[in-house]
Amino acid sequence: MQNKVYHRIEQITGNVIVVKADDVIAGELAQVNSAVGTSLAQVIRLENENVFLQVFAGGRGIGTDAQVRFLGRTMQIPFSENLLGRVFTGSGKPRDNGPEIEENMIDIGGPSVNPAKRIIPRNMVRTGIPMIDVFNTLVESQKLPIFSVAGEPYNDLLAQIALQAEVDVIILGGMGLKHDDYLFFRDKLDESGALSRTVMFVHTASDPTVECLLVPDVSLAVAEKYAQEDKRVLVLLTDMTNFADSMKEVAITMEQIPSNRGYPGDLYSQLAARYEKAVDFEGSGSITILGVTTMPGDDVTHPVPDNTGYITEGQFYLKNGRIEPFGSLSRLKQQVNDSTRDDHRAIMDTMIQLYANYKETLEKQSMGFRMSDWDSKLLAYGERFETSMMDITVNVSLEDALDDGWKILADCFEPAETGIASKLTDKFWPKS
Amino acid sequence: MSENIGKIIGVNGNLLKVEFSVPVIQNEVAYACVGTGDLKLKAEVIRIRGNTAELQVFEDTVGLKIGDPVEFTGELLSVELGPGLLTQVFDGLQNPLPRLAEECGFFLQRGKYLDPLPRDTKWAYTPTAKEGDTVIAGDTVGTIPEGMFNHCIMTPFNLQGKWTIDKLTPAGNYTVEEVVAVLKDEKGNTKNVAIMQKWPVKMPIKCYAERLRPTESMASKMRTIDTFFPVAKGGTFCVPGPFGAGKTVLQQIMSRNAEVDIVIIAACGERAGEVVETLREFPELTDPRTGKSLMERTLIICNTSSMPVAAREASVYTGVTLAEYYRQMGLDVLLLADSTSRWAQALREMSGRLEEIPGEEAFPAYLESVIASFYERGGVVRLNNGETGSVTIGGTVSPAGGNFEEPVTQATLKVVGAFHGLSRARSDARRYPAIDPIDSWSKYPSVVDEVKVNKARKAIRDGSEVGQMMKVVGEEGTSIDDFVLYLQSEYIDATYLQQNAFSETDSSNSIERQEYVFGRLLKLLDTQMKFEDKDKARSFFQQLTQTCRDWNNSTFNSDEFKQIEAQMTKALAEVSDYAE
């Protein structure tokens, strides 16, 4: 019954084909054989005897006489230790020259974690980058996107964090990656020996759109399994804007009413379903998600970064090769930065507030106003801050970075000018 | 097993088309059976056309197929009301999440529905009414101690007309399903009153004598809110703001500090992590009012962003229905919904699948009336027994792009009594709470004298105007008097509006302290100050700001508090211009 072959395609629109078939279940997988080859397809809608299928390899080249065979199961992905060091496509086919893996198939897009079983995040992930460690600490089980524009070194930053962060398994989900970028990640991880603890699911810009939609789900399904085996997993997703754009493409083809700039109304829920997979299993491993969201036109109010911002626990805002202190935020930092060092929070708040004042002074300066004593101090401070704290290519410990912070403050200001509580200045202010 | 069975003829996302032959009711609950029928998915009828009903399923629909049976229950989507609700964590359909975790482990399991109230727990019941008493809907017949409250057992809220208590069960231990009273009407009809009752979530409970105007302040212990933008018991307020502006932190502080009897948190389509903080921290925290754990007055409805969308829509109604239930006992309840935008989006998703004609930004045309009728369920009421109870509703709004000119924010602003608008500029400058002191408003009375508040408001506005002007003409183009105005407003901002949520003392200020500190602040505003030049003025205010922050961090009326105050008085005296 399940293997009955249908070979009359009623309708082909974009990547979606319609056949008349019975006994098909929602979400079922099918195999489509056509002149251009074989592809998987997934049932996305049932209407009386009409079955709507989304073809992973795209609708191009499919004839009305293509053969459709239903497989009686939903989308699955293999899971085993053998995945490490390998590269796959979004539908789980090997991308490197290695053998196909078909053992221990697991479902993708599984149910969400019961909120009652979640725990408060408590472990800081040290990255060695002061703009992250001091000002916006990354925390295990956090989900954080890097907001950026095309051309910024976001993939470099992602790779650097991946290499410097202490985790057991890295899963890279590439969506709409340029082929060069895919090779960059592979080589960079290989150089440092990290490839052997990495699984890559890569969809490049030239691959079929539908496979792009599968990348986050397969990456996270595999991550979830590793996490349940006591591993700390870091999932890197680049670039989630491409994922959203693929969703838009499919939704428009399905004639759904678009909500905002052509994106489907469930954009928020769809993104959330993926990001919310970040979790810390009590007594077992964890999943931390770092994504990249490119903002078309550097517009943070664009639907993709906007919806992402409401879902994730903060964001790193990468601009001009620096993590901007203003747009950036780690919501979970308060969970860990009280137990690092007494002065961590004070340094964090004060330095940013003073940097904000510096920016205002810069504005005044550019308009040609006279600089007061206070302004000159701020100008000196701002420059020091930018050169020593905002560099993202360094690798310094949190403690050293905090000491640097005090040094900069002491070189530029009197203790009272910083507004830091006297208890702390008494203890930490460098004695000249 | 229901007699009323339909057949699936279409599956589109979580929307089912079902063919039926016997009568169905709009908004009734139905169960779609997957395969052999072991797995049943809860759904709600949302549209009926001819002999086809459209149902939204509260779960993922993977696995359903054409021809699968659908059982109609004949009941509207309801919640169970009775003792055992407090301290619980439910999902949007009132599934108890901790008990679900015990049964299913880490993950939520599809089609698994547990009884919201445990059926085997016995409660110590004492009757308070007498046999022969005349009762109407919502009258108390007995009480059960639950935590720190006496949980009233009431006659069914849907009771029509006057009834007499025919029989009362004596005091004793009973389960929620047991009958504690039998009522009789003039015609001799009888009705059983059980400890637990059910109520459809989308209908307001209206068993009260009259609705009153909300005038009494609900202290939140946040200076900006209580002094400048107060919320009254039974009032409504909204907190719109872009992401990262601190909406959720603000709600968490509110849920911790608010001076009410019960807090219901409806986490609707937001991050699971935020609920977890409440979940894990509240049992550890003590409520200063009662000395007991904060969790004892808290109830959480939790339908986070990755949980099914249709249940998200139900979750705010579940929350408000439970709030109304406790109000019927004469309690003050605060309902915090975070975020109402996610709820509106759930409406939009469904409306899209139904192929309705979209309104602005594809939201359905009925969005405004739906939002209005939700907020209208808040209010202070005088109950039939003369007591008052209130439901205060606070909703966060997450406007797309942080732009308040969008349908959900605008529809909300029309119906609320206070608006705490969060601004990106303030949060970027780490000025928390990021409530914009100029754009926000409240229609409720402040905890301090209105005349004084207006004075401070004017100082903030004037200072901000000078600040704006200074951006154009520079500091040298500003007179020293104007410059002092600017510094004063910055001082009010830094020491009064801003409040450190992570400092134990500063994070919650009693009304008494607010009145006192505000009085001091006004004295400063009234003082004529004289400075040689602007740098002197600036450094004076910097010094004073730091001292005042230390002051805010000292315990009210402690020696340290008085000492710092004396220090500030002295500093102020030095710059006062008594000569004029």
Q: What are phi and psi of A203, to 5 degrees?
A: -115, 120
The reply to whether A298 touches chain B by the CB within 8 Å rule is: no
Cα separation, B461 vs B27, whole angstroms: 50
Do B303 and B268 form a contact (C-beta atoms < 8 A)? yes
In the structure encoding, which two tokens stand for residue B480, read together? 């020293």
Note if the bond before A239 is cis, omega within 30 degrees. Answer: yes
Cα separation, B433 vs B413, whole angstroms: 20
**Whether A260 and B110 lie within 8 Å, measured CB to CB:** no
The chain-wide mean pLDDT, for chain A, equals 91
Q: Which of residues 46-85 of B touch A (CB under 8 A)?
A: 60-66
pLDDT over 90 (residue B82)? yes
Q: Tens digit of pLDDT for each residue in B171-230? A: 999 999 999 999 999 998 999 999 999 999 999 999 999 999 999 999 999 999 999 999
User: Cα angle vertex A167, ends A165, A170, to 5°?
Assistant: 100
Assign B578 a pLDDT band (cuts: 50, 70, 90).
Answer: low
Q: What percent of chain B has pLDDT over 90?
A: 72
- pLDDT for the residue B501: 84
Assign B132 a pLDDT band (cuts: 50, 70, 90).
Answer: very high
Q: Indicate the helix (H) or strand (E) that contains A6.
A: strand A5-6
**Whether A115 and B276 lie within 8 Å, measured CB to CB:** yes
- List, in order, residues 6 or more apart from B559 with CB less than 8 Å away: none
Across A329-343, B113-127, B164-178, least confident range: A329-343
- pLDDT for the residue A300: 87
Q: How many helices (H) and strands (E) does chain B have?
A: 14, 26
Helix, strand, or coil here: B330?
A: coil
Q: What percent of chain B has pLDDT over 70?
A: 99
Range list of β-strands (E), B271-403: 298-303, 332-338, 379-382, 388-397
Q: What are phi and psi of A368, to 5 degrees?
A: 85, 20
Q: For residue B162, how many other CB atoms are within 10 A of its CB?
A: 12
**Whether A259 and B361 lie within 8 Å, measured CB to CB:** yes
Do B557 and B510 form a contact (C-beta atoms < 8 A)? no
Q: Which residues of B touch A269 (CB under 8 A)?
A: 269, 305, 309, 345, 349
Q: Which residues of B touch A20 (CB under 8 A)?
A: none
User: Cα angle vertex A224, ends A218, A230, to 5°?
Assistant: 145
pLDDT over 80 (residue B286)? yes
| Domain B5-76 CATH class label | mainly beta
Q: What's the mean pLDDT in B270-284?
A: 86
CATH of domain B81-102+209-442: 3.40.50.300
Range list of β-strands (E), B100-252: 123-127, 134-135, 140-146, 149-154, 163-168, 172-174, 179-184, 190-194, 197-200, 210-212, 236-240
- Domains belonging to chain A, first-starting first, are 5-74 (2.40.10.170), 77-334 (3.40.50.12240), 344-428 (no CATH)
What number is the ipTM of this complex? 0.85
Task: Single out the residue of B266, B315, B268, B261 nearest to residue B79, CA to CA.
Answer: B315
Across A7-11, B462-466, B474-478, least confident range: B474-478
The reply to whether B408 touches chain A by the CB within 8 Å rule is: no
Cα separation, B264 vs B278, whole angstroms: 12
Cα separation, A54 vs A42, whole angstroms: 5
**Whether B550 and A422 lie within 8 Å, measured CB to CB:** yes
pLDDT over 90 (residue B350)? no
Beta bridge partners of B388: B382
Of B62, B309, B402, the CB nearest to A301: B402
Q: Which of residues 288-347 of B touch A (CB under 8 A)?
A: 302, 304-307, 309, 339, 342, 345
Cα separation, A243 vs A270, whole angstroms: 10
- pLDDT for the residue B1: 45
Helix, strand, or coil here: B520?
A: helix
Cα separation, B344 vs B408, whole angstroms: 7
Q: What's the mean pLDDT in A226-247?
A: 94
Q: Where in chain B is the domain with CATH 3.40.50.300?
A: 81-102+209-442
Helices marked H in A95-135: 130
> Which of residues A103 and A288 earns the better pLDDT score?
A288
Choose the mutation target among A120, A268, A335, A418 for the interface with B, i.e. most B CBs under 10 Å. Answer: A268
User: pTM, whole model, 2 decimals?
Assistant: 0.90
pLDDT over 90 (residue A256)? no
pLDDT over 70 (residue A87)? yes
Note if the bond before A219 is cis, omega within 30 degrees. Answer: no
Determine the distance in angstroms separating the CA of B269 from the nearest CA of chain A, rounded to an integer. 8
Choose the mutation target among B8, B15, B243 for the interface with A, i.e. most A CBs under 10 Å. Answer: B243
Determine the distance in angstroms separating the CA of B381 from the nearest CA of chain A, rounded to an integer. 34
Q: What's the mean pLDDT in B286-303?
A: 88
**Whether A356 and B428 lie within 8 Å, measured CB to CB:** yes
Do A189 and A169 form a contact (C-beta atoms < 8 A)? no
Q: Tens digit of pLDDT for each residue in B314-331? A: 999 999 999 999 999 999
Task: Single out the residue of A6, A7, A33, A10 nearest to residue A22, CA to CA.
Answer: A6
**Whether B429 and A356 lie within 8 Å, measured CB to CB:** yes
Q: Which of residues 309-368 of A touch B (CB under 8 A)?
A: 309-311, 313-315, 326-327, 329, 331-332, 334, 338, 345, 349, 352-353, 356, 363-364, 367
Return the amino acid letter for A233: V
Determine the distance in angstroms separating the CA of A349 from the nearest CA of chain B, rounded to an integer. 7
Q: What's the mean pLDDT in A280-302?
A: 92
pLDDT over 70 (residue A186)? yes
The reply to whether B106 touches chain A by the CB within 8 Å rule is: yes
> Which of residues B378 and A109 earns the better pLDDT score?
B378
Cα separation, A188 vs A423, whole angstroms: 46
**Whether A111 and B107 lie within 8 Å, measured CB to CB:** yes
Q: Where in chain B is the domain with CATH 2.40.50.100?
A: 123-195
Cα separation, B570 vs B566, whole angstroms: 6
**Whether A353 and B429 lie within 8 Å, measured CB to CB:** yes
Cα separation, A198 vs A170, whole angstroms: 5
Q: Where in chain B is the domain with CATH 2.40.10.170?
A: 5-76
Cα separation, A170 vs A162, whole angstroms: 7
The reply to whether B563 touches chain A by the CB within 8 Å rule is: no
R_g over Cα of chain B: 27
Which CATH entry fits the domain spanning B450-575: 3.40.50.970, 1.10.1140.10, 1.10.3720.10, 2.102.10.10?
1.10.1140.10
Q: Tens digit of pLDDT for each residue in B567-576? A: 999 999 888 8
Q: Which of residues 170-229 of B touch A (CB under 8 A)?
A: none
**Whether B352 and A276 lie within 8 Å, measured CB to CB:** no
Angle at which helices A344-366 and A373-384 cross, to 10°: 120
Across A162-171, A228-237, B122-131, least confident range: A162-171
**Whether B97 and A27 lie within 8 Å, measured CB to CB:** no
Angle at which helices A303-311 and A240-253 cross, to 10°: 120
Torsion of CA A391, A397, A402, A408, to 10 degrees: -40
**Whether B9 and A47 lie within 8 Å, measured CB to CB:** yes
Choose the mutation target among B12, B54, B502 for the interface with A, i.e. most A CBs under 10 Å. Answer: B12
pLDDT over 60 (residue A2)? no
Task: Single out the residue of A47, A70, A223 nearest to residue A141, CA to CA.
Answer: A223
- pLDDT for the residue B400: 83
Give B36: exposed, middle or buried? Use CB within 10 Å, 0-12, 13-18, 19+: exposed
Assign B333 a pLDDT band (cuts: 50, 70, 90).
Answer: very high
CATH of domain B123-195: 2.40.50.100
Q: What are phi and psi of B182, to 5 degrees?
A: -120, 130
- pLDDT for the residue B429: 79
- DSSP secondary structure letters along A373-410: HHHHHHHHHHHHIIIIIS-SS----HHHHHHHHHHHHH
The reply to whether A74 touches chain B by the CB within 8 Å rule is: yes
Q: What's the mean pLDDT in A73-95?
A: 91
- pLDDT for the residue B339: 87
The reply to whether B283 touches chain A by the CB within 8 Å rule is: no
Of B104, B275, B429, the CB nearest to A115: B275
Q: What's the mean pLDDT in A203-207?
A: 92
The reply to whether A249 touches chain B by the CB within 8 Å rule is: no
**Whether A114 and B302 lie within 8 Å, measured CB to CB:** no
DSSP conformation class of B217 = B
- List, in order, residues 6 or more apart from A24 with CB less than 8 Å away: A43, A46, A51, A70, B65, B66
In the structure encoding, which two tokens stand for residue B77, read together? 């989507």
**Whether A306 and B502 lie within 8 Å, measured CB to CB:** no
Determine the distance in angstroms separating the CA of A374 from the nearest CA of chain B, rounded to an integer. 8
Helix, strand, or coil here: A243?
A: helix
**Whether A364 and B60 lie within 8 Å, measured CB to CB:** no
Cα separation, B376 vs B359, whole angstroms: 23
The reply to whether B285 touches chain A by the CB within 8 Å rule is: no
**Whether A113 and B108 lie within 8 Å, measured CB to CB:** yes
The reply to whether B269 touches chain A by the CB within 8 Å rule is: yes
**Whether B474 and A364 lie within 8 Å, measured CB to CB:** yes
The reply to whether B550 touches chain A by the CB within 8 Å rule is: yes
SS (H, E, C) A276-300: CCCEECCCCCEEEEEEEEECHHHCC
Note if the bond before B433 is cis, omega within 30 degrees. Answer: yes
pLDDT over 70 (residue A1)? no
Q: Which residues of A touch B553 (CB under 8 A)?
A: 421
Cα separation, B398 vs B392, whole angstroms: 20
The reply to whether A45 touches chain B by the CB within 8 Å rule is: yes
Q: Where in chain B is the domain with CATH 1.10.1140.10?
A: 450-575
Q: Which of residues 165-224 of A touch B (CB under 8 A)?
A: none
Across A108-112, B385-389, B479-483, least confident range: A108-112
Q: Tens digit of pLDDT for each residue in B353-403? A: 888 888 888 899 999 999 999 999 999 999 999 999 999 999 999 998 788
User: Which whole-number Å values give the CA distances from B113 to A44, A124, B116, in the listed order?
Assistant: 26, 37, 9
